[in-house]
Structure 1
Amino acid sequence: MGAPLISLHGIAKQYGEGELATRVLHDINLVINRGEFVAIMGSSGSGKSTLMHILGCLDRPSGGQYRLLGRDVASLSGDELAALRRDTFGFVFQSYHLLGGLSARENVEVPALYSGLSRAERKARAEQLLTTLGLENRLGNKPSQLSGGQQQRVSIARALMNGGDIILADEPTGALDSHSGAEVMALLTGLARQGHTVILITHDPKVAAQADRRIEISDGRIIADPGPASAREDTAVPARPRPAGSLATELLEAVRTAFRSLHSNLFRAALTLLGIVIGVASVITMLAIGNGSQQQVVQSISAMGSNLLLVRPGAPNQWGRRATSTLVAADMDAIKEVANVAAAVPEIGGAATLRFGNLDHSPEINATSADFPAARQWALSAGTFFTADDEQSYATVAVLGQSVVDALFPDTDPLGQYVMVNNILFQVIGVMAPKGASPWGQDQDDVVFVPYTTGGLRLFGQQFLRSITVSVDDVARIGDTEAEIHRLLLARHGVEDFQIRNMSSIIDTVSATTRTFTWLLGSIAAISLLVGGIGVMNIMLVSVTERTREVGIRMATGARQRHILQQFLTEALVVSALGGAIGVVLGLAAAALVGRFEIPVYFSLSPVLLAFGCAFVTGLVFGWLPARKAARLDPVIALASE
């Protein structure tokens, strides 16, 4: 004869250590053959339920040896024990242990979730079992919509879902009326006749009397056992095929369960989502505003010309009047001869009062050369700019900025008109295209351009230049050109009484500064995302505590630790991903709304991906601890939780 189905030798179980240790089972020796219908009978506290937990691989003994089909259970890993609970055992509990949020059919399907059956196969098998047990009209009912007897039948159907070679029934009639109890016992007796090995735990002698073999246990010791019957190999339950479940299928089921869990407590789910939504929306909005401001500043500075060198009088860090008297027109002419220089534009500036008719205005006067529009990349909207001949002849001609035109010529074409500048008549020959405000908020259009010769002699009475703007042909060589101009001026002046600013490097510096500011804004907003992640962890920890019994039920029906870990981690990821998606939409909408108030915003894919990715990682990181806690729960303790 082969090895017995179940063989216990010297099994002991105690809880606690030392003086506080409580011995529940003492030297249990028991053999159960395949096909037996066994009742283990004893009063409350006798140890019968603890013995059932050990038989069903829900708990491990403190001592002794348990062999199942010849295999030493103590040598099996956690996953191998889970496989036994999934494929070999079927549990029928006194309190049913059904999942309240699932229908009768879905409760029956739970063991098959971990055995690799497809959704269609699970559904067909569950419906067939429930129909066989007389519940064909209760497939969609939740446990709260079923009577006690009906819930116990659902529990029996769940035990049979993966075959149920060994049925472990713990006080299956304890919570039922006599009629429902009789129906459940008839079902168990029928299963025993079909070849299932049925182990019944009960305190009721009348219930135990219906079994073929009655074992009595008291104070953790077996006090009566007629011995095992012969194995009924001819009626053994055929092994059901166990297809390998795919990871994609498991993840899909985990996502479905996650949404079901969220739906069961919408208010708490909404509060959990809120932290992630606010965090993601804040990051996107802040980065959009920061990037928009950066783009505006860089574009404004770039509009002045990224190929420019600005030569100003005065030694480095020198301030005051002396700093304005070192550059002359001859320096400009010398700079024009340097290689890679496209143009050298002088500028003399100051304020003056303009009068046209009875209107006065005080713009900035910029005395410059004919190369100014090309060097500064500033076009005209009307008329022409003055020429080199105008410079040579000290012509009294002027080109107006748009703000000056608006102030002095609201209803008149300015071209050809004469304006009084410090009591000197200047003819308007052109109007510059609108430029707008500078990065520093200055109105760039509130300016009048005149020939530098005319301005220096007739308006300002000076020959010194405020600055020389140099444009280069090849920006890649702008550094070499800057060095060459520095050597030239140093040779001409004998001392370093000038400063050269590279607009390209200024743009790079401003870009770096605004980029840092943008990331600072994003980091501040990311703090709310971190707070949202902590909220996810707190809610998931609460969820694990509330659903401890569910974890126990899933473990009893075959879930491995990785299944539990995967389930709760998926729920955290679903919360974070859903909150991230909503946050992305709200963040983009908020940024668009801000843009309507003429605040510069810039949309790009990077902040969206960054914010959503951070939300996803937040769910992964902060969901790990609660998921790990759930996966490490002891099945017996979890089942006993309320």
Structure 2
Amino acid sequence: MPLISLRNIRKHYGGYGEAPKVEVLRGIDLDIDRGEFVSIVGASGSGKSTLMHIIGCLDTPTSGEYLFEHEDVASLSRDQLARLRSKVFGFVFQAYHLIPTESARENVEVPAIYAGIDEVTRQARAIQLLSGLGLGERLDHRPSQLSGGQQQRVSIARALINGGTVILADEPTGALDRESGDQVMTLLRGFAAEGHTVVLITHDQQVAASADRIIEIQDGRIVRDMRNPRMKRVQDAAVARTDTGYETSLGSTPIHPPGRALGRLLPGVTDACRAAWRVLNTNRARTLLTLLGIIIGVASVVTMLAVGEGAKREVMSRLNAMGSNLLQIGSSRPKSGGPRGVITEEDIEAIAKIPEVRRVMPILRDDALVRFGSFSRNFEVLAPTEVMPEVNRWPVLHGRFFTREENRNVAPVVVLGYRAYQYYFPDAGNPLGHQVLIKDAPYEIIGVMSEKASESGHINHDERLYVPRRTGMVRVFPDQRDESYLVVEVVDSEQLYRAQENIETLLLARHGRADFWLNNAAARQQAELEARNSLTMMLALIAAISLLVGGIGVMNVMLMTVRERVREIGIRLASGARQRDIHRQFIVEATLVSLVGGVTGILLSVVVIAALALLEVPVAPSLNALLGAVACAVITGVVFGLMPARQAARLHPVAALNRE
């Protein structure tokens, strides 16, 4: 049975939609035996390169049957095809197709990496091959430092690294001078003499005459298949050994089988890291620009978290100083049933006489329609006493608060909360002296409270209007006779719980039942917690945005890298790389960029935090924040590297190799 058997192989491109159908191969029948030296000759566009790609499992036929060692190639998975390219086929291309960032030795090792051969074995094998081909002193030279003939010999060594059962040479002398071309053909004849199956693709009849068998192809059909009786491969092999120093024993060196899965994974990751670092080091300017996004993102996250934690601690200390000695009391229905309780004037006077109480501020409240010009909206209207700014430690931003006399005289005046002011005066104009209509009655604006925001998670003081207590009782809420709630200021926060107990005892004695509610500093602690959570959420958002920007930068650069390295991807695929190998390569690169950027960002943030501390800005750095920022940077890099990696892994080998 032949080693390679093709039956009625056809290949066409296009034919879908508006794309014209172009037939390249038109029913190829071909058998190649093990150890044959076959040349396939034909003019440009005759289909010979397409035929070689199909034989080498770089491409698939549109129809027909391809058997390799009696097995139908069409039944093989993509990984099995990659394995076949790695272990059986060795490619020698006209354009050499060497990876520019790798040395000669490393280029030769590429197929061995994907075959799972350990590093020591493959390095020794590559050195032996290159030395036998006269490149022993050029092992560490990159392709740009080698001549065309030397690069072609590197590609030949790469074709032999895994044994090279079948060597597929596509115009191997097309880009070489005559002397270098003769040397390459001498090598190929020597390999054929050793038992390698050599398939040579050429348009040069003189080059084709070096083979034992000449197959001519025209317009996708085989028009001639003849033996070449003039060739004496044994003599040529002797010449090859004499002229090049190449030893035939090289071709018989045993190849170790792949090890266990873990043994294959770790070297793959190591080689991917090494290759990724070289790519990044080669494109230093672009790498630096990519790193800037991650560096700035991580540094800003860590710095903002440190500043935010310091600010939270500062805010909490101020909150404790601004209202941890306040109690709130209101009426409610008893749990045992019965009518709703009423906080009377007598209750207020009795509470004010408790020793631990400094003063009591009764408040009425209800919703009301408030209009100003063309603006109309329901706001909550509060009617406290004149001591509200002092009790709540809440300053007036514009104008003033109402006085005791205005309260006593039921003056139609109002103070706007900050949000209410912004709603009615979006252009930030002066509201003082203007009038708003509350339930169709005019009230003069005498002040605007400063911004206070939410205090207990759902109450926003800025979205309220404030009128004197008696004004509320007489003008705004004439039907409301009980106090909505009381704010009790305790002399000292240390006496807060004692005051609470005394007030509860007093009201129970006066009412005979628990028809009231009472909140102590726990509400203020809740406000502190809400402030903490709000700041944390804000910083988390900043972190997410910063890392998102950095991740998008990584993705953009990786997509650009994929486009620039399409040919390299094709080389790796032709050398036996599986989809997951290509995927891993680019994921490792994205991870490496993110990791380097994350560590650099940490160092930058440490410098910035130290500078802020010297400027007496409150900061509170955290080790967890440092480690978390790096972890997030790496995760971001991996996530945003997935799409470029998948795009690279899905490239077709032939399309990638032919990409300019």
TM-score scaled by structure 2? Answer: 0.70
**1:93 Cα offset (Å):** 0.4
Equivalent runs, 1:355-434 vs 2, <5 Å: none
**1:129 Cα offset (Å):** 0.4
CA-to-aligned-CA distance 1:368-396 (integer Å, 9 cap, x gap)? xxxxxxxxxxxxxxxxxxxxxxxxxxxxx
What SS does structure 1 have at the residue aligned with 2:10? Answer: strand
Is the alpha carbon distance of 1:314 and 1:158 closer, same or farther for their aligned partners in structure 2, counting shifts above 3 Å? closer
CA distance in 2, matches of 1:61, 1:195: 28
Q: Which residue of the partner structure matches residue 535 of structure 2?
A: 517
**1:162 Cα offset (Å):** 0.7
CA distance in 2, matches of 1:89, 1:625: 30
**1:548 Cα offset (Å):** 0.2
Is the alpha carbon distance of 1:176 and 1:189 closer, same or farther for their aligned partners in structure 2, counting shifts above 3 Å? same
Structure 2 counterpart of 1:543, from 558, 561, 584: 561
**1:527 Cα offset (Å):** 1.1
Q: Which residue of the partner structure matches residue 465 of structure 2?
A: none
Whether contact under 8 Å (2:86, 2:162) holds in the other structure is: yes
CA distance in 1, matches of 2:537, 2:281: 36
- Could you tell which deviates more after superposition, 603-612 or 41-50? 603-612
Structure 2 counterpart of 1:240, from 252, 255, 262: 255
CA-to-aligned-CA distance 1:507-553 (integer Å, 9 cap, x gap)? 23213213312321331243122111111111111100000000000
CA distance in 2, matches of 1:563, 1:482: 72
Paired residue type of 2:13: Y
Q: Which residue of the partner structure matches residue 379 of structure 2?
A: none
Q: Which residue of the partner structure matches residue 2 of structure 2?
A: 4
Does 1:467 pair with 2:465?
no
What SS does structure 2 have at the residue aligned with 1:29? Answer: strand
Q: Which residue of the partner structure matches residue 560 of structure 1?
A: 578
Identical-residue share of aligned pairs (%)? 52
- Could you tell which deviates more after superposition, 488-497 or 581-590? 488-497
Is the alpha carbon distance of 1:509 and 1:304 closer, same or farther for their aligned partners in structure 2, counting shifts above 3 Å? closer
Whether contact under 8 Å (1:482, 1:500) holds in the other structure is: no
Is the alpha carbon distance of 1:501 and 1:150 closer, same or farther for their aligned partners in structure 2, counting shifts above 3 Å? same
What SS does structure 2 have at the residue aligned with 1:225? Answer: strand
Whether contact under 8 Å (1:33, 1:228) holds in the other structure is: no
TM-score scaled by structure 1? Answer: 0.72
CA distance in 1, matches of 2:555, 2:346: 66
Equivalent runs, 1:153-302 vs 2, <5 Å: 153-226=153-226, 240-244=255-259, 245-299=263-317
Q: Which residue of the partner structure matches residue 141 of structure 2?
A: 141
**1:324 Cα offset (Å):** 9.4
**1:104 Cα offset (Å):** 0.8
Rg (Cα) greater in structure = 1
CA-to-aligned-CA distance 1:237-256 (integer Å, 9 cap, x gap)? 67623223521221111111
CA distance in 2, matches of 1:325, 1:296: 37
Is the alpha carbon distance of 1:510 and 1:32 closer, same or farther for their aligned partners in structure 2, counting shifts above 3 Å? same
Structure 2 counterpart of 1:531, from 538, 549, 553: 549
- Could you tell which deviates more after superposition, 15-24 or 489-498? 489-498
CA distance in 1, matches of 2:146, 2:42: 30
Structure 2 counterpart of 1:571, from 586, 589, 594: 589
What SS does structure 2 have at the residue aligned with 1:139? Answer: coil
Q: Which residue of the partner structure matches residue 50 of structure 1?
A: 50
**1:605 Cα offset (Å):** 2.7
Q: Which residue of the partner structure matches residue 650 of structure 2?
A: 632
Q: Which residue of the partner structure matches residue 75 of structure 2?
A: 75
Q: Which residue of the partner structure matches residue 86 of structure 2?
A: 86
**1:500 Cα offset (Å):** 6.0
Whether contact under 8 Å (1:313, 1:467) holds in the other structure is: no
CA-to-aligned-CA distance 1:153-173 (integer Å, 9 cap, x gap)? 001000001110100000111
Q: Which residue of the partner structure matches residue 36 of structure 2?
A: 36
Q: Which residue of the partner structure matches residue 392 of structure 2?
A: none
Does 1:620 pair with 2:620?
no
Paired residue type of 1:24: V
Paired residue type of 1:243: P
Paired residue type of 2:111: P
- Could you tell which deviates more after superposition, 598-607 or 487-496? 487-496
Does 1:105 pair with 2:94?
no
CA distance in 1, matches of 2:160, 2:632: 44
CA distance in 2, matches of 1:175, 1:471: 92
**1:17 Cα offset (Å):** 1.3
CA distance in 2, matches of 1:237, 1:8: 28
Unaligned runs of 5+ in 2: 234-248, 333-344, 361-451, 454-487
What SS does structure 2 have at the residue aligned with 1:621? Answer: helix
Whether contact under 8 Å (1:309, 1:482) holds in the other structure is: no
CA distance in 2, matches of 1:571, 1:470: 58
Whether contact under 8 Å (2:58, 2:574) holds in the other structure is: yes
CA distance in 1, matches of 2:515, 2:491: 14
What SS does structure 1 have at the residue aligned with 2:164? Answer: coil
Whether contact under 8 Å (2:165, 2:196) holds in the other structure is: yes
CA distance in 1, matches of 2:191, 2:159: 11
Whether contact under 8 Å (1:291, 1:515) holds in the other structure is: no
CA distance in 1, matches of 2:289, 2:599: 15
Equivalent runs, 1:599-610 vs 2, <5 Å: 599-610=617-628
Structure 2 counterpart of 1:489, from 495, 506, 520: 506
Q: Which residue of the partner structure matches residue 355 of structure 1?
A: none
What SS does structure 2 have at the residue aligned with 1:20? Answer: coil
Does 1:592 pair with 2:610?
yes
Is the alpha carbon distance of 1:602 and 1:202 closer, same or farther for their aligned partners in structure 2, counting shifts above 3 Å? same
Q: Which residue of the partner structure matches residue 14 of structure 2?
A: 16
**1:303 Cα offset (Å):** 8.3
CA-to-aligned-CA distance 1:136-163 (integer Å, 9 cap, x gap)? 1111111111111111100100000111
CA distance in 1, matches of 2:70, 2:330: 98
CA-to-aligned-CA distance 1:426-454 (integer Å, 9 cap, x gap)? xxxxxxxxxxxxx99xxxxxxxxxxxxxx
**1:505 Cα offset (Å):** 3.8
What SS does structure 1 have at the residue aligned with 2:200? Answer: strand
Is the alpha carbon distance of 1:502 and 1:146 closer, same or farther for their aligned partners in structure 2, counting shifts above 3 Å? same
**1:277 Cα offset (Å):** 1.0
Is the alpha carbon distance of 1:75 and 1:497 closer, same or farther for their aligned partners in structure 2, counting shifts above 3 Å? closer
CA distance in 1, matches of 2:152, 2:489: 96
CA distance in 2, matches of 1:58, 1:313: 82
**1:580 Cα offset (Å):** 1.3
Whether contact under 8 Å (1:127, 1:136) holds in the other structure is: yes
CA distance in 2, matches of 1:636, 1:147: 25
CA distance in 1, matches of 2:213, 2:180: 23
Paired residue type of 2:103: S
CA distance in 2, matches of 1:472, 1:246: 71
**1:61 Cα offset (Å):** 0.5
**1:288 Cα offset (Å):** 1.1
Whether contact under 8 Å (1:312, 1:498) holds in the other structure is: no
CA-to-aligned-CA distance 1:589-630 (integer Å, 9 cap, x gap)? 322322222221112233223322221121111111111010
Unaligned runs of 5+ in 1: 333-344, 350-438, 441-464
Is the alpha carbon distance of 1:518 and 1:589 closer, same or farther for their aligned partners in structure 2, counting shifts above 3 Å? farther
CA distance in 2, matches of 1:323, 1:583: 62
Question: Aligned-pair RMSD on alpha carbons?
Answer: 3.3
Whether contact under 8 Å (1:164, 1:196) holds in the other structure is: yes
Is the alpha carbon distance of 1:129 and 1:635 closer, same or farther for their aligned partners in structure 2, counting shifts above 3 Å? same
What SS does structure 1 have at the residue aligned with 2:226? Answer: coil
CA-to-aligned-CA distance 1:280-336 (integer Å, 9 cap, x gap)? 11111111111112123335656899xx764589999xxxx999966455x23xxxx
Paired residue type of 1:6: I
